[in-house]
Amino acid sequence: MEVQSKRSEVFCLYNLKKQAGVVYKRLFVQVAYLIGISLLAYGLFYWQKPVNLTEELDGGALFGIYCIAIPGTVLFWSVLSVTVSNLVRNRWIGMGVVLLFWFFSISGKATQFLKNWGPFSYGTCDFGKLTEWRWLGGKVLCVVFAGMMLAFVPKILKKRG
């Protein structure tokens, strides 16, 4: 953002703690916005009372499961994109790397390999058996990896200079 607005020199003059704070604040706003929009959009879908495809779960239960699954997904992909972009110091290369990783993670081979531990673990479960919670391991793993990447933000900023 600083490069685009030609303020990168000023941003680099901040101490490392303030730089990391700015990154964390922007990331928080981004994640909160994306989670809010996702929940609103999916909530509006269930507000229309669509036909239920499974007798085991009603629309409210499916929306509740979505409310549990989507924050981990959004957090992981948002933090990954910011981390990779900061590491390579180019947002386009960063987006490309994340896009390649996304394509890999939704592929059939990755789904077979990662099973319930992938970023899209709820996609591997039978639609009517989402309450078995096997997919939750992948969401927890995404949150753990996002936390680890967030912990490395100051080191990345220091390396980047």
Return the pLDDT at 28: 93
The model's pTM is 0.75
DSSP for residue 128: G
Distance CA 45, CA 23 (A): 33
Please say whether the beta carbons of 153 and 24 come within 8 A: yes
Q: Which two tokens stand for residue 135?
A: 């997919």
Question: Looking at residues 69-81, what average pLDDT do you find?
Answer: 89
Residue 54: pLDDT band (50, 70, 90) is low
Q: DSSP secondary structure string, 55-76?
A: SSS-HHHHHHHHHHHHHHHHHH
Task: Report the SS3 class of residue 89.
Answer: coil
What pLDDT sits at residue 134?
Answer: 74
With a CB cutoff of 8 Å and minimum separation 6, the contacts of 67 are 39
Q: Which helix (H) or strand (E) holds 138?
A: helix 136-151
Q: 125 — phi, psi (to 5°)?
A: -90, 155
At residue 51, the pLDDT reads: 65
